[in-house]
Amino acid sequence: MKVAFVIFDGLTALDFVGFHDPITRLKTMGYMPDLEWRVCARAESVRDGAGLAIRADEVAGPLGGYDLIFIPGGFGTRTLKDDPGFIDWIRTAAACKWKVSVCTGSLILGAAGFLEGKSATTHPAAHDLLAAYTEGAVRERIVEDGEVITGGGVATSIDLGLYLVEKFSGAEARAAMQKQMDYPYQGPSPLHS
Amino acid sequence: MKVAFVIFDGLTALDFVGFHDPITRLKTMGYMPDLEWRVCARAESVRDGAGLAIRADEVAGPLGGYDLIFIPGGFGTRTLKDDPGFIDWIRTAAACKWKVSVCTGSLILGAAGFLEGKSATTHPAAHDLLAAYTEGAVRERIVEDGEVITGGGVATSIDLGLYLVEKFSGAEARAAMQKQMDYPYQGPSPLHS
C-alpha cells in the first residue's frame, strides 16, 4: 500500500501527525512491511496555523499512483477549497482507492467532487460548509462510507488512524500500537453508511 | 512567557505536535496573548523516526532565555542522552523556570542533570533508563515535581499539554480548547511530588 499524506499552508499539524503516527507504525512495528508513504505538497515546505514548518517529500507531483490519500484540516482549507489550482491537484487522486480526511480536510475532498452521494463528517464548527458538498454531512467523529472515511476535528486524527490500523491489520495490532503510543482511549465506533 | 520546543533527529513527531498544538492555542485562542515560542534544534531541519522532516526556527542558539523548555522523546534520545555536544546545548536551558518532557525526552532532561532529586516519568518501556538519572522514576502518565513536569509515552503529549493549559489559564480555557480540538478524553490526574 502506498499512502499520500497531503499537507498545505494553514493545515493544523496535529490533524496530520496524529494520523501519520499510527499509520507509519504499521510499517515500523512490522504489520505492513511493504507500506510506503510520501508527504505531498505543492511547495517544498508548508507552515501550519501556528507557524510550524513541515517539509514535503514530493512537490506538486500527481496523486493518482497512491492507494490512500489523506487530507488534514486547518484554516487553510477555507481558501484552498475555492482555489482551482489546488483542487485540480487534489483531483489527480481520483483513482486512489481510499480517500481519508480529518477535520476540514473533508471540505477539500468535497471540493474535488469526492463526496458526491457520500456520508461524511468534519470539524464540529464546519458542518455548514460541508453541507455544500454532500447531503450526507453528519455530526460524528468517524464516518465510513465505502472507501471514503472522514474524521471529526483535530485530535480525531489519532482515533481515525487507529481505526484504520485495526481495519487493515486487526485488533491485536491496534492494541499493541496503543500500548506503544501510551494512548489509553478507545475512540468512537464509526458510523457506517 | 517564552517557550522553546526542542526537536532533534529521531524524535517522535506526535510527542512534539501533541504538546505544541494546545500550548500554541493559548495564544491563537486568546488566553495568553503575549505567549511566544520558537522551535529549536541544532540543525535547520530534523527528521522524526518515520522520516517526517520538520524545520527549526532557531538553530543551535542558547536556551537560557526561555521560560519553558519542552523536550519530546523518540528513539533519537537513546544516543543523544550520551552525546556531550547535544547535552551541553540542553544545559544552556538551566535557567528556564519550567522544564517539561514527554516520553523519553525525560532521559535528555536527566542527562542534563535537571532531574536530580526529582520525581519523573517516561515511556513505559524506558523506566530502567530513567532510573539512571533519578531515584524518583515513577510509572505515571503525568508527574509534576515543582517546575519539572514529565509525561509518559507519545500520545501523553496531548494530555500533558492540556494539563499545562489548565494550570496556566484555568479549567474553562482547557474545556474550550478540548472542544476546538475535538478531544473528548479527560486525561490522567498528575502525580505531585
User: One of A96, A103, A126, A137 is an active-site residue; which one?
Assistant: A103
Answer whether residue B137 shows pLDDT above 90.
Answer: yes
Residue A84, burial from CB neighbour count under 10 angstroms (0-12, 13-18, 19+)? exposed
Distance from CA of A85 to the nearest CA of B (A): 25
| Residue A193 located in a structural domain | no
Q: Which of A143, A181, A186, A189 to mutate to test the interface with B (most CBs of B within 10 A)?
A: A181
The per-residue pLDDT for A193 is 81
Q: What are A102-117's pLDDT values in tens digits?
A: 999 999 999 999 999 9
Cell 486512489, located at residue = A96
Binding-face residues of B in 122-151 toward A, CB within 8 A: 123-125, 141
CA angle in degrees (0–180, nearest 5) for A103-B35-B98:
105
Residue A119, classed as helix, strand or coil, is strand
Considering CB atoms only, which of A39, A155, A158 is closest to B52? A39
Q: What are A58-67's pLDDT values in tens digits?
A: 999 999 999 9
Average pLDDT score, chain B: 97
Compute the distance between CA of residue A69 and CA of residue A2 in angstroms, rounded to an integer.
9
Question: Which residues does A166 contact at the CB level (< 8 Å), separation at least 6?
Answer: A173, A174
The per-residue pLDDT for A113 is 98
Predicted confidence band of residue B193 (pLDDT cuts 50, 70, 90): confident
The per-residue pLDDT for A48 is 98
Chain A CB contacts of B155 under 8 Å are: 21, 158, 181-183
Compute the distance between CA of residue A186 and CA of residue A65 in angstroms, rounded to an integer.
33
Distance from CA of B84 to the nearest CA of A (A): 28
CB pair distance less than 8 Å for A21 and B156: no
Compute the distance between CA of residue B11 and CA of residue B32 in angstroms, rounded to an integer.
28
> What is the domain-level CATH number for residue B18?
3.40.50.880
Answer whether residue B127 shows pLDDT above 90.
Answer: yes
Overall domain count for chain B: 1
Annotated catalytic residue A40 = no
| Residue A192 located in a structural domain | no
Q: What are phi and psi of B126, to 5 degrees?
A: -120, 15
Q: What are A131-174's pLDDT values in tens digits?
A: 999 999 999 999 999 999 999 999 999 999 999 999 999 999 99
Compute the distance between CA of residue A133 and CA of residue A135 in angstroms, rounded to an integer.
7
| Residue A151 located in a structural domain | yes
Cell numbers standing for residue A34:
511493504
Structural domain for A145, as ranges: 2-187
Active site residues of B: 103
| Residue A114 located in a structural domain | yes
pTM above 0.95?
Answer: yes
Question: Which residues does B95 contact at the CB level (< 8 Å), separation at least 6?
Answer: B64
Q: Which of B9, B15, B20, B21 to mutate to test the interface with A (most CBs of A within 10 A)?
A: B21
Binding-face residues of B in 149-178 toward A, CB within 8 A: 152-156, 158
Q: What are A67-103's pLDDT values in tens digits?
A: 999 999 999 999 999 999 999 999 999 999 999 999 9
Q: What are B45-92's pLDDT values in tens digits?
A: 999 999 999 999 999 999 999 999 999 999 999 999 999 999 999 999
